[in-house]
Amino acid sequence: MRISLNNNNEEFSADSMSISQIMELKKFTFKMLVVKLNGNLVRKEDYASTFVKDGDDLIILHLISGG
């Protein structure tokens, strides 16, 4: 499948993958993340049950705070 991941084209051998699988494969380990799939926010508890398929737009942002 081909998707847009953080505005970059990515290709995976599977037809679909869960958000959790993509995050593990791409080494997204930061605790505070915002995930949007096709413009819709995805809750952390839904990462394993939300599947990304060919043509989808996935955004995974690290939240960083400071003062």
Query: Does the residue 53 lie in any domain?
Result: yes
Query: Does the residue 67 lie in any domain?
Result: no
- For the stretch 6-17, pLDDT in tens is 999 999 999 999
Q: What is the mean pLDDT of the chain?
A: 94
Per-residue pLDDT of the chain (67 residues; tens, 9 = 90+): 999 999 999 999 999 999 999 999 999 988 889 999 999 999 999 999 999 999 999 999 988 877 6
CATH code for the domain in which residue 32 is found: 3.10.20.30
Query: Does the residue 47 lie in any domain?
Result: yes
Residue 27's domain spans which residues? Answer: 2-62
Within 10 A of 17 (CB to CB), how many other CB atoms are there? Answer: 19
Continuous segment of H or E residues that includes residue 9: strand 8-11
| Strand order across the beta sheet in which 40-42 lies | 8-11, 2-5, 57-62, 33-37, 40-42
Query: Does the residue 34 lie in any domain?
Result: yes
Looking at the structure of the chain, the number of domains it has is 1
Within 8 A by CB and 6+ apart from 35, the residues are 19, 41, 42, 44, 47, 58, 59, 60, 61
Rounded to two decimals, what is the model's pTM?
A: 0.91
